């Protein structure tokens, strides 16, 4: 049985005393009936927005043009939306105008899926369920309210929402609803990149997103939203559990932690360019040379197209660019330091998380990798020894080189500093001011200034 969350009763009482009704609606009712943890509590009322504004002390007209007011009650925000009918869609994206109604049933009728079309009356906990969402929850089904063809032509975002809810709730999509989705899939291009991104982000936060991408493919949505992923279908690669690049990428996503959006995107896209880089040698061997760099570029294009923040785009691309490292026990300490310098000490942990996801995508198993643990230990040593691993750690800086040796601030300065870093990565003992000035001077005279004059 469902019970009414505590603070809702005094809120409902305020509306009732003014002659209005109050319902809990949307995801909260669905999650309560399904026995899931409830997140945000959205309320609906027949009171007009202006009246709601007057009845509560602390209010924010957060979505007043759609009839939504946020009230702050005992320090917590609640959205209260006046019953609406939204029948007039013209561009398949947004209703032209909102109309209010006094009927909760009418308000529920404009919603997307039966499981989202229930209301719980407050305070007496009576369930209003005109589309039998309860049975669909029992049968674990996402079903459009009313005529699915109509619902998807009104609003194409519902295509993504159907897949996302199926994934989040571990439900199936009811066959009629699903075939309507397949027919209406091309309409997704009318939806803004930001809204598609937000749905993908929610999908990637579920325990096993791979199923969601398989569903997107079956619904003909993947070819609109992430067509690059489809290129991997049928492109074989060596793996015991994933027959092709497509399945390998999907499994890799499952292998990354749900709370790490960045690692999940990196896992999904780390081999995205393999199909384009595939080549066969004379002896018949297949290789994918350069796929790391090209995958990083394609990943950056995809994530920018989806309007993800620059920071995320660059971080994911960086991890993908470096994902092909091949650690061997024989690596010298200098090789470990060069690896750390190349990747960046602050990004090593994430790169190892991507490697773990990649390995899961090949083996289907989450097993501690001995070699990676050893690399991890050796990197810890590098950090403890506090050896220089970036130009900022050098015992000299650009200004020293300018004043002591006379190198003008220029691109050459960068070249000299990089040479010094390489030298110190090879032999940390050289990271002393006098030694570095000596080395820099010789390098600059012999390799940069000298050859130019000659």
Stretch in the footprint of ligand ATP (CB under 6 A) among 155-163, 234-242, 271-279, 303-311: 155-163
Q: CA geometry: angle at 52 spanning 46 and 57, to 5°? A: 155
| Interface with ligand ATP in residues 85-114 (CB under 6 A) | 111-112
| Pairwise CA distance, residues 405 & 433, whole Å | 13
Whether the upstream peptide bond of residue 96 has omega within 30° of 0, thus cis, is: no
CB of 116 to ligand ATP, least distance (A): 3
Min. distance of Cβ 197 from Mg ion in angstroms?
17
Q: How far apart are CA 188 and CA 306, in angstroms?
A: 13
- Partner whose binding site includes residue 111, from Mg ion, ligand ATP, none (CB under 5 to 8 Å by kind): ligand ATP
What x-and-dash track marks residues 12-51 binding Mg ion by CB under 5 A? ---------------x------------x-----------
Strand partners, 68: 63, 81
- Site residues for ligand ATP, window 157-176 (CB under 6 A)? 157-158
The least CB distance from residue 28 to ligand ATP, in Å, is 7
Report what 157 binds from Mg ion, ligand ATP, none; CB cut-off 5-8 Å by kind.
ligand ATP
Cα 209 from Cα 211, distance rounded (Å): 5
Which residue's Cβ lies closest to Mg ion? 27
Parallel, antiparallel or unpaired: strands 68-73 and 99-100: unpaired
Instruction: Choose the one of Mg ion, ligand ATP, none that binds residue 370, judging by a C-beta under 5 to 8 angstroms depending on kind.
Output: none
| Closest to ligand ATP by CB, 176 or 289 | 176
216 vs 348, which CB is nearer to ligand ATP? Answer: 216
Nearest distance in Å: CB 141, ligand ATP = 15
* Shortest separation between residue 141's beta carbon and Mg ion, angstroms: 20
CB atoms within 10 A of CB 174: 20
Pick what 422 binds: Mg ion, ligand ATP, none; C-beta below 5 to 8 Å, kind-dependent.
Answer: none
Q: Which of residues 318-357 bind ligand ATP (CB under 6 A)?
A: none
Residue, CB closest to ligand ATP: 27
d(CA 358, CA 270) in angstroms, rounded, equals 8
Identify residues 1-40 at the interface with ligand ATP (CB under 6 A).
26-27, 39
Nearest to 344, CA basis, from 416, 381, 392? 392
Q: Which is nearer to Mg ion, 68 or 252 (CB)?
A: 68
Residue 33 CA to residue 38 CA, distance in Å, equals 10
155 is an interface residue for ligand ATP by CB under 6 A: yes
Per-residue interface string for the shown chain with ligand ATP, residues 34-73, x marking contact by CB under 6 A: -----x--x-------------------------------
Q: How far is the CB of 140 from ligand ATP (least distance, A)?
A: 16
- Chosen from Mg ion, ligand ATP, none, partner binding at 84 (C-beta under 5 to 8 Å by type): none
255 neighbors 357 (Cβ within 8 angstroms)? yes
Q: Min. distance of Cβ 118 from Mg ion in angstroms?
A: 13
| 155 contact choice in Mg ion, ligand ATP, none (CB below 5 to 8 Å, kind-dependent) | ligand ATP
List the single partner that 116 binds among ligand ATP, Mg ion, none, CB under 5 to 8 Å by kind. Answer: ligand ATP
Long-range contacts, stretch 371-378, CB < 8 angstroms, 24+ apart:
371/327, 371/328, 371/329, 372/327, 374/327, 374/329, 375/327, 375/331, 375/336, 376/352, 378/331, 378/333, 378/336
Which residues contribute to the site for ligand ATP (CB under 6 A)? 26-27, 39, 42, 111-112, 116, 155, 157-158
Which residues contribute to the site for Mg ion (CB under 5 A)? 27, 40
């Amino acid at each position: 049985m469902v019970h009414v969350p505590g603070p809702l009763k005094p809120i409902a009482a305020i509306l009732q005393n003014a002659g209005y009704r109050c319902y809990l609606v949307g995801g909260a009712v669905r999650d309560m009936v399904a026995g899931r943890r409830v997140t945000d509590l959205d309320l609906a009322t027949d009171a007009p927005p202006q009246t709601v504004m007057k009845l509560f002390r602390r209010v924010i007209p957060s979505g007043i043009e759609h009839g939504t007011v946020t009230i702050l009650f005992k320090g917590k925000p609640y959205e209260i939306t006046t019953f609406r009918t939204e029948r007039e869609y013209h561009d398949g994206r947004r209703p032209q105008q909102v109309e209010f109604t006094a009927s909760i049933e009418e308000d529920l009728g404009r919603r997307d899926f039966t499981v989202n079309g229930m209301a719980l009356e407050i305070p007496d906990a009576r369930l209003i369920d005109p589309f039998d969402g309860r049975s669909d929850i029992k049968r674990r089904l996402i079903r459009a309210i009313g005529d699915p063809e109509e619902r998807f032509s009104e609003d194409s975002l519902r295509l993504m929402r159907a897949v996302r809810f199926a994934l989040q709730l571990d439900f199936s999509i009811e066959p009629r609803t699903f075939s309507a989705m397949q027919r209406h899939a091309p309409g997704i291009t009318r939806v803004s990149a930001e809204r598609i991104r937000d749905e993908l982000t929610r999908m990637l936060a579920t325990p096993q997103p791979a199923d969601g991408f398989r569903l997107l493919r079956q619904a003909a949505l993947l070819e609109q939203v992430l067509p690059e992923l489809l290129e991997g279908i049928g492109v074989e690669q060596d793996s015991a559990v994933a027959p092709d690049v497509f399945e390998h990428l999907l499994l890799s996503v499952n292998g990354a932690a749900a709370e790490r959006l960045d690692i999940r995107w990196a896992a999904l896209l780390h081999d995205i360019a393999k199909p384009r880089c595939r080549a066969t040698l004379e002896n018949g061997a297949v290789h994918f040379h350069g796929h790391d760099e090209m995958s990083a570029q394609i990943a950056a294009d995809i994530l920018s197209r989806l309007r993800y923040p620059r920071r995320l785009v660059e971080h994911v691309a960086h991890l993908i660019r470096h994902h092909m490292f091949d650690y061997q026990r024989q690596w010298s300490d200098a090789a470990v330091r060069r690896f750390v310098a190349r990747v960046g000490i602050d990004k090593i942990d994430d790169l190892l998380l991507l490697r773990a996801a990649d390995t899961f995508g090949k083996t289907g198993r989450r097993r501690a990798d001995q070699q990676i643990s050893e690399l991890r230990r050796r990197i810890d040593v590098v950090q403890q020894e506090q050896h220089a691993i970036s130009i900022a750690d050098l015992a000299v800086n650009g200004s020293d080189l300018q004043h002591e040796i006379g190198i003008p601030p220029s691109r050459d300065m960068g070249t000299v500093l990089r040479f010094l870093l390489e030298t110190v990565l090879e032999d940390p003992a050289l990271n002393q001011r006098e030694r570095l000035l000596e080395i820099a001077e010789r390098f600059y005279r012999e390799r940069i200034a000298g050859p130019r004059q000659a």
